[in-house]
Copies of this chain bind each other. A is one copy, B any other.
Amino acid sequence: MARTRSPNRKKSKAANAGSSVFQDIARNPLLWLLAAVPAVLWIGHARPDQSTLLFILSALAIVPLAALLSRATESIAHRTGDAIGGLLNATLGNLTELIIALTALKAGEYMLVKASIVGAIVSNTLFMLGSSFLLGGLKYHTQEFNRSTARLQAGMLFLASVALVVPSAFGAVQGEQITAKLSFLLAVLLILTYGCGLVFSLGTHRGYFGSAVSAGGHDEEEGLWPVGEAVAVLVIATLLIAFVAEVFVHSLEGAGAALGMGGAFIGFVVVAIVGAAGEIVAAWSGARKNKLDLSVGIALGSAVQIALFVAPVLVLLSFVIGPAPMTLEFWPGAIFMVFAASLVAALVSGSGRSAWFLGLLILSVYATFAITLYILPPQAH
């Protein structure tokens, strides 16, 4: 991130000096979806039984809120200097996913939470990367990206994925309490590793790994907001996401039943894509501008952050706010998907170039996962 941001910072600051939240909303059709927010709050209050409608509206409402949140974080990060800015990006980069997962955690919907963790890793790696390659490839004959940075990021993702699924892969379930203790210890270890990763990418080796650890990486040429506005947007968007997520999570059971989707499918596909909508748009925009490094960095960096930071934070918080501790035990299909997705990232990034069919092939793998999960939902734990 520091890598792609540094060269043209001053220029972009100057060029976008006058940008403001309202101008952006007027210009960006994605943000018009904000109209769904009041609808969600009103219908959620007046007709809480309309699950399917609420499910669709709240999913639509989260997308622009997540985009605002991520732009606000970027704007603040830019004014605070590289180190603090990077830290902000790294901790708030997946805030939307975190808020939705926390709401589900409080409601005791553990399958949903786990499915959305797995879904976030898999959809960052397969859906975001695959669709960026496809969209970029439809415009450019072939595209190149920095092979060694991508390979390092993919290597880190593989390591993080392995660490995350260890307890399940050992297949040695021996009572709730022992697994909870193990999950607690591993969560602490993963967060410490993540902390060291921040020291590395923001301190000792700024710009070396690129956006390997922090998930931001949004395109610099879009406008930045004044700090005051940005902080206000950050607070308001977070609060609104929390409200909408509440409606979203509570509508899931009814909507899932009506639409024939299990909790695992909803968490894996819907929550993961809704939560990452802002990043997906940024990755696509990078690919269409032939800046594939940006897309790869956002996709892999965000997946690493989910595995090393969001997932363990959820485990630790489950000891405080959940009805029972959430463990790091995943169902066999989840282990396979995380493992396969991070290997795909490693193998694909090794070649350093892409074309449309490679993107389509990666999307096919994602589609086989989604179809299988839809038709063969995992048994509840």
Q: Provide the bound-state CA to CA distance between A254 and B187, in Å.
A: 31
Residues of B within 8 A of A179 (CB): 376
CB distance B357 to A155 under 8 Å? no
A141 to B344, CA, bound (A): 29
Interface residues of A in 301-349 (CB under 8 A from B): 331-333, 336, 340, 343-344, 346-348
- Give the CA-CA distance A360 to B367 in the complex, in Å: 35
- Report if A257 contacts B (CB, 8 A): no
Instruction: Check: A197 CB closer than 8 A to any chain B CB.
Output: yes
Task: Decide if A196 touches B360 in the complex (CB within 8 Å).
Answer: yes
Number of copies: 3
Checking B169, B200, B348, B360 against A333 with a beta-carbon cut-off of 8 angstroms, the contacting residue is B169
| A332–B155 CB distance below 8 A | no
Total A residues in contact with B, Cβ cutoff 8 Å: 71
CB of A353 within 8 A of CB of B148, answer: yes
* Contact call A141/B193, Cβ cutoff below 8 A: no
Are the CB atoms of B344 and A185 closer together than 8 Å?
no
The answer to whether B172 and A333 touch across the interface, beta carbons within 8 angstroms, is: yes
Do B182 and A365 have beta carbons less than 8 Å apart? no
Say yes or no: A361 contacts B182, CB within 8 Å. Answer: no
In the complex, A204 has a CB within 8 A of chain B: yes
Q: Is A225 an interface residue (CB 8 A)?
A: no
A178 at the interface (CB under 8 A from B): yes
B163 touches A368 (CB 8 A): yes
Known: A170-B336, A171-B333, A355-B208. A155 touches B347 (CB 8 A): yes
If A151-B350, A182-B376, A362-B159 touch, does A357 touch B197 (CB 8 Å cutoff)? yes
Q: Chain B residues with Cβ under 8 A from A360's Cβ?
A: 193, 196
Residues of chain B within 8 A of A372, CB atoms compared: 166-167, 170, 182, 186
Residue numbers in B under 8 Å from A352 (CB-CB): 148
A375 at the interface (CB under 8 A from B): yes
Shortest C-beta distance, A49 to chain B (Å), equals 31
Partner of A343, one of B197, B343, B376: B343
| A199-242 interface bits toward B, Cβ cutoff 8 Å, 1 = contact, 0 = none | 01100110011000000000000000000000000000000000
- Cβ contacts A to B, 15 pairs, < 8 Å: A141-B205, A151-B347, A162-B368, A167-B372, A169-B332, A169-B340, A170-B336, A172-B332, A172-B377, A182-B371, A185-B375, A197-B357, A197-B361, A209-B357, A350-B350
19 further contact pairs, Cβ within 8 A, besides A170-B372, A200-B357 = A156-B358, A166-B336, A166-B368, A166-B369, A167-B372, A167-B376, A169-B332, A171-B333, A172-B376, A172-B379, A179-B376, A186-B372, A189-B364, A193-B360, A200-B356, A201-B357, A205-B357, A209-B355, A209-B357
Residues of A that sit less than 8 Å from B by CB = 141-142, 148, 151-152, 154-156, 158-160, 162-163, 166-167, 169-172, 174, 178-179, 181-182, 185-186, 189-190, 193, 196-197, 200-201, 204-205, 208-209, 331-333, 336, 340, 343-344, 346-348, 350-353, 355-358, 360-362, 364-365, 367-369, 371-373, 375-379
Nearest first, the 7 A-B pairs at minimum CB distance are: A170-B333, A200-B357, A169-B336, A193-B364, A172-B376, A171-B332, A182-B375
